[in-house]
Structure 1
Amino acid sequence: MRALVYTPSLPRFFAARALGKRFPKALLPLGLKELPLPERPGFLRVRVRLSGVCGSDLGLLYGKNSPFLAPFFSFPAVLGHEILGEVEGVRVVVNPLLACRDRGLPPCPRCQEGEEGLCENVAEGDLAPGMLGFNRDLPGGWGEYTLARPERLFPVPDGVPDERAVLAEPLAVVLRGLKKLRPWPGEVLVVGMGTIGLLAVRGLRLLGYGGRILALAKYPHQAELARAFGADEVVRGPTRGRAYRAYGFTALRGGHEAVIEASGSGRGFRQALAWAREGGRVLLLGAPGIEVADLSPLWFREVALLGSYTYREGEFRQAVELLKEAEGLEALVGGVFPLEGWREALSARGKALFRP
Structure 2
Amino acid sequence: MNDGRARKQQYLMGESIQFIRSVPRWLFVRNLSGRWPSAATGALSCIRRVETPPPRLPTQEWVRIRPYMSGICGSDLSAIACKGSPYFSPFVSTPFVLGHELVGEIVETGNETPKAWQVGRRVVIEPALGCEVRGLRPPCRSCAAGEYANCENITKGSIPAGFQTGYCAGTGGGWSTATVVAHPSQLQAVPDVVSDEEAALAEPFACSLHAALKIPREKGKTILVIGSGTIGLLLIHGYRRAGGQGRVLVVARFAHQAEMARMLGADECVNLRPPREFYQWVLERGGGAGEGAGIYQPELGKPVVLGGVDCVVDCVGNSQTIDDAVRLARPGGLVLLVGMPGIPRNVDWTAIWYKQLRVQGTYAYGWETAPDGRRVKTIQLGLEYMAGNPGALAPLVSGRFSLEEYRAAIQHAFRTDLPGNFKTMFVLPRT
The TM-score with structure 1 as length reference comes to: 0.95
Structure 1 residues 1-356: aligned runs within 5 Å: 1-21=14-34, 22-23=36-37, 24=39, 25-26=41-42, 27-40=44-57, 41=59, 42-87=61-106, 88-106=119-137, 107-130=139-162, 131-144=164-177, 145-182=179-216, 184=218, 186-236=221-271, 237-238=278-279, 239-240=282-283, 241=288, 242-249=294-301, 250-292=303-345, 293-313=347-367, 314-326=377-389, 327-348=391-412, 349-356=421-428
SS state at 1:231 partner: coil
Between 95-104 and 10-19, the greater mean CA deviation after superposition? 10-19
Unaligned runs of 5+ in 2: 1-13, 107-118, 272-277, 289-293, 368-376, 413-420
Is 2:233–2:261's contact at 8 Å kept on the other side of the alignment? yes
The equivalent residue for 2:114 is none
Q: For the residues of structure 2 that align with 1:296 and 1:18, how far apart are their CA atoms?
A: 32
Q: Distance in 1 between matches of 2:323 and 2:215?
A: 19
Shift of 1:317: 1.2
TM-score normalised to the size of structure 2? 0.79
1:211-266 CA-to-partner distances (Å, cap 9, x unmatched) read 11111000011011001101000024331151111224321221211000011333
Secondary structure, aligned partner of 1:226: helix
Output the CA distance in 2 between the equivalents of 1:178 and 1:210: 12
Shift in Å, 1:182: 4.2
The size of the alignment, in residue pairs, is: 356
In structure 2, what residue type is equivalent to 1:223? A
Of 103-112 and 210-219, the range deviating more from structure 2: 103-112
Cα distance in structure 2, aligned partners of 1:248 and 1:50: 50
AA paired with 1:3?
A: S
1:20–1:62: 8 Å Cα contact kept in structure 2? yes
Unaligned runs of 5+ in 1: none
> Considering only CA atoms, is the larger Rg found in Structure 1 or Structure 2?
2
**% identity of equivalent residues:** 38
Structure number with the bigger relative contact order (C-alpha 8 A, sep ≥ 6) is: 1
Tell me how far apart the structure 1 counterparts of residues 363 and 160 of structure 2 sit (CA, whole Å): 20
Matched residues in 2 for 1:301 and 1:224: separation? Answer: 33
The alpha carbon displacement at 1:30 in A equals: 0.8
For residues 210 and 83 of structure 1, do their structure 2 counterparts lie closer, same or farther at Cα, with a shift above 3 Å needed?
Answer: same
Instruction: Note if contact 2:223-2:248 (Cα within 8 Å) is conserved in structure 1.
Output: yes
